[in-house]
Amino acid sequence: MAERTFVLLKPDAVQRALVGEVVGRFEHRGLKLVAMKMLRVSRALGETYYAEHKGKAFFEPLMAYITAGPVVALVLEGDGAVALVRRMMGKTNSSEAEPGTIRGDLALSIARNVIHGSDSLESAKREISLFFKPDEIQAYTRIDESWLRE
Ligand code: IDP
Ligand code: MG
């Protein structure tokens, strides 16, 4: 199976109408969209999802942000998907993210940075299972797949 990664378009992405722009970048790069849903992150889900940041100074603002409005969760599939999505996202601190990256083109601050993407294969597995049931992930062949690699 091709590598899978988890992406969350955060509440600012939805409010700023950036969902199509960001999903389009992944589609155009060749990553396959295999799951997508809009939902509201509850406090409980937010705490589990961001457990690694519990106790940090920005944890409470982060909880307020991530639960503030609807989000869009995605699973993307492709060769090296985890690292590729991280590179396409750019640095956490959007004011330092390179132009051409999602954060570098679409955001200005470290706190409101549009997108989350898994930072490792292990995180991807954990995050996908937090947001999706196995039967919500689609298996299909994209019509351009034979053109994406030699
Ligand atoms: P990442 O999203 O690039 O993986 P993490 O360090 O895992 O970055 O932080 C998770 C999220 O917490 C960030 O995307 C951002 O929304 C928020 N965050 C991280 N560091 C800060 C900070 O110093 N101030 C405010 N928010 C932060
Ligand atoms: Mg992270």
Q: Is 103 in the pocket of ligand 1 (CB under 6 A)?
A: no
119-140 residues labelled b (16+ CB within 10 A) or e (exposed): eeeebbeebbeebbeeeeeeee
pLDDT in tens, 65-97: 999 999 999 999 999 999 999 999 999 999 999
* Residue 99 confidence class, pLDDT cut points 50, 70, 90: very high
- The pair phi, psi for residue 73, each rounded to 5°, is -105, 140
Domain contains 147: no
CATH (domain of 13): 3.30.70.141
Domains in the chain, number: 1
**Nearest alpha carbon, ligand 1 atom 25:** 111
pLDDT recorded at residue 134: 97
What is the CA(118)–ligand 2 centre distance, in A?
Answer: 7
Domain contains 46: yes
Q: Tell if the pTM clears 0.95, that is, is over it.
A: yes
Q: Are 130 and 49 in contact (CB under 8 A)?
A: yes
Q: Which two tokens stand for residue 109?
A: 């601050």
Instruction: Give DSSP secondary structure letters for 42-57.
Output: -HHHHHHHTGGGTTST
Share of the chain above pLDDT 70, in %: 100
Q: Is 121 in the pocket of ligand 1 (CB under 6 A)?
A: no
Domain contains 146: no
Mean per-residue pLDDT over the chain, rounded:
97
Domain contains 149: no
Domain ranges, residue 63? 2-137
